[in-house]
Amino acid sequence: MALEDPILRLWPQPAVEVALEGLYLREGLQHKHRDRAGLPFVYTNFIASLDGRIALPHPEKPAMAVPGELANPRDWRLFQELAAQADAIVTSGRYMRERAVGGAQDVLAVYQDAAFADLRDWRLAAGLAAEPAVVIMSLTLDFPLPSFLRGANRPVIVFTGAEASAQRIAGLAGAGVEVVQEEGPGPVRGGSVVHGLAARGYRSIYSVTGPEVMHTLLAADVLDRLYITYAHRLLGGEQYASLVEGFRLVRPVDMQLATMYYDAHAPDGAGQCFARFDRRYIQA
């Protein structure tokens, strides 16, 4: 399962072997922008089993987690290549709580692993900040802020509801966090987050959190691209998280297959596919 083993491009044709490392760095996401209304380009990434599981209950922690039967270094490398191109990465208060108890992958401390030092160099060469800004969507602000984000050199922005606790807002502000509140009642809206990030000069936005935020982005019609790794395994389980969770969308969101790669080398010989879907916009 070495990173040097190639993968096979299935689409677009013709089929051809390509290198795994650098596959997503060639996407040029740091230069993209949304074609409509000058908004940032918003993309996300998941790994899923063939029966649609992206997370199962952690065996020891009170959290949902990517199953160990799915997680693998080859997919993780591509996850980090997507993070390397982002001006900002978006997560949630739920993720922050699960991270605090050790039940979630560390998707925020991108370059603390020496294996990804090349991606830090790549960012700097591309004219990006050393690390992407961290954006947290949370209605209650009931999450711990990790020590490495307190007074960090990278921006940390929290989007919350109009009725959020003034005490918690003050606590975050004291740690160097910018808190942005919704003007009206209800949950944090995907459109407010994306427009708020646009106003702050962010162009490339990477959502690295779960199905609730995915639903929020889809409902607001602000998601442009989906990367998904399909691990060729069936897991079962009565409690699980899927790609999108929430009320039924008013209109289905159409996604068009742009690329598909077959990886015969992971996990444990079962194989996996790396797919990219682009938002298909229908003219009114």
Q: What percent of the chain has pLDDT over 90?
A: 75
What are φ and ψ of residue 260, in 5° steps? -145, 130
Q: What percent of the chain has pLDDT over 70?
A: 96
**CB of 171 closer than 8 Å to CB of 122:** no
**CB of 263 closer than 8 Å to CB of 7:** yes
Q: Report pLDDT for 62.
A: 83
Q: Is 7 helix (H, G, I), strand (E, B) or coil?
A: strand
Q: Report pLDDT for 34.
A: 58
Angle of helix 211-219 relative to helix 190-199, nearest 10 degrees?
80
Q: At residue 1, does pLDDT exceed 60? A: no
Q: At residue 216, does pLDDT exceed 70? A: yes
Q: Quickly state the pLDDT bin for 7 (edges 50, 70, 90).
A: very high
Give the Cα separation of 130 and 121 in Å (integer): 8
Domains of the chain: 29-279 (3.40.430.10)
Q: Of 27, 83, 8, 54, which is closest to residue 243 (Cα–Cα)?
A: 54
**CB of 218 closer than 8 Å to CB of 44:** no
The DSSP line for 35-101 is: SSTTPPEEEEEEEEETTS-SBEE-SSSSSEE--TTT--HHHHHHHHHHHHT-SEEEEEHHHHHHHHT
What are 227-236's pLDDT values in tens digits?
A: 999 999 999 9
Q: Beta 133-137 vs 88-92: how paired, if at all?
A: parallel
**CB of 139 closer than 8 Å to CB of 161:** yes
Task: Please tell me the pTM assigned to this model.
Answer: 0.94
Q: Quickly state the pLDDT bin for 284 (edges 50, 70, 90).
A: very low
Cβ neighbours of residue 34 under 8 Å, at least 6 residues apart? 40, 41, 42, 224
Q: Which of 14-18, 117-121, 163-167 has the highest mean pLDDT?
A: 14-18
Tokens matching residue 85: 């191109």
For residue 256, the Cα-to-chain-centroid distance in whole angstroms is: 19
Tokens matching residue 201: 């000069």
